């Protein structure tokens, strides 16, 4: 198998069609900024029996950028009893154009040589842009074993559900009103992030709707600390990029934003660590 750099593939596609330029620009940006682990976190779940489960990693990223998990062609949706809504716009995945020719080796034996000569855009539609029969995605995809600190969520009465298909554009969520967590990945730090939201809700007594920059930085900074304490893993680069993005929304640099929420981070971590029956994996 030929080892081709993702960025070189993407650049060729950008040159091939205007329809995929915006999406491929985002793919390139993800590789260049190092955000790929966060972008493809959903692929850690056992694959659904849907067409997108068999896509290349580049196409899976394009599906993520479309804020969905399930995309199919117009006729494929028809086969499962769903129709594309009037006015819905297609999103595009990429199909390789393969060429083959016959060559002769040093022994005079003929063999077929194939290569990718380019890519073509294929229009597909998000499940959110269709209507009709419900889609059966099967039962929730539970992990082989609960993540560290699952006992804290259970102690607080916070329901944790692993979803086959959830809210577009998210890897997980915490809903204060329902006091539950939904996850689309088995990655522990995503669970830690949502558990930190649940702890923050208990510390503050209420939560703002949407992605409030303070709440998101408290959750991500807390999650990075919990990941190091209870798994020994370091996610500092990925977490820092996430924190930086939310700090910018408040016109702050990441360090200043972290200092402003450090008090709440301390309270969140204390609440979680004191609630768990599990000792940290490494020394604090």
116-151: per-residue pLDDT in tens?
777 788 899 999 899 998 887 766 678 888 999 999
Label the pairing between strands 159-162 and 180-183: parallel
Under a CB-based contact definition with an 8 Å cutoff, are residues 91 and 69 in contact?
no
Contacts of 181 (CB under 8 A, 6+ apart): 153, 158, 159, 160, 161, 172, 173, 174, 175, 191, 194, 195, 198
Model confidence, pTM: 0.59
Residue ranges of the domains in the chain? Answer: 6-132, 150-275
pLDDT (0 to 100) of residue 90: 92
Across 50-54, 159-163, 197-201, the highest mean pLDDT is recorded for: 197-201
180-211: per-residue pLDDT in tens?
998 878 888 899 999 999 999 999 988 887 78
């Amino acid at each position: 198998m030929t080892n081709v750099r993702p960025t070189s593939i993407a650049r060729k596609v950008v040159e091939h069609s205007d329809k995929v330029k915006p999406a491929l620009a985002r793919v390139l940006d993800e590789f260049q900024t190092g955000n790929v682990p966060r972008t493809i976190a959903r692929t850690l779940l056992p694959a659904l029996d849907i067409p997108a489960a068999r896509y290349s990693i580049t196409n899976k990223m394009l599906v993520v950028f479309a804020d969905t998990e399930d995309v199919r062609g117009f006729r494929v949706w028809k086969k499962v009893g769903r129709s594309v809504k009037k006015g819905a716009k297609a999103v595009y995945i990429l199909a390789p154009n393969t060429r083959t020719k016959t060559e002769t080796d040093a022994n005079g034996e003929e063999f077929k040589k194939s290569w990718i000569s380019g890519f073509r855009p294929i229009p597909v539609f998000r499940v959110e842009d269709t209507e009709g029969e419900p889609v059966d995605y099967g039962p929730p995809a539970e992990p082989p074993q609960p993540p560290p600190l699952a006992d804290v969520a259970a102690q607080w009465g916070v329901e944790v559900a692993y979803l086959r298909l959830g809210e577009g554009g998210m890897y997980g969520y915490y809903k204060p009103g329902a006091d539950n967590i939904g996850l689309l990945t088995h990655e522990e730090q995503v669970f830690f992030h949502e558990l930190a939201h649940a702890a923050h809700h208990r510390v503050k007594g209420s939560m703002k709707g949407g992605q409030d920059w303070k709440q998101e930085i408290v959750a991500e900074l807390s999650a990075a600390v919990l990941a190091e304490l209870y798994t020994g893993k370091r996610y500092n680069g990925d977490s820092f990029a996430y924190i930086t993005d939310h700090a910018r929304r408040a016109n702050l640099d990441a360090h200043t934003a972290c200092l402003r929420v450090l008090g709440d981070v301390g309270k969140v971590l204390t609440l979680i660590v004191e609630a768990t029956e599990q000792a940290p994996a490494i020394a604090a």
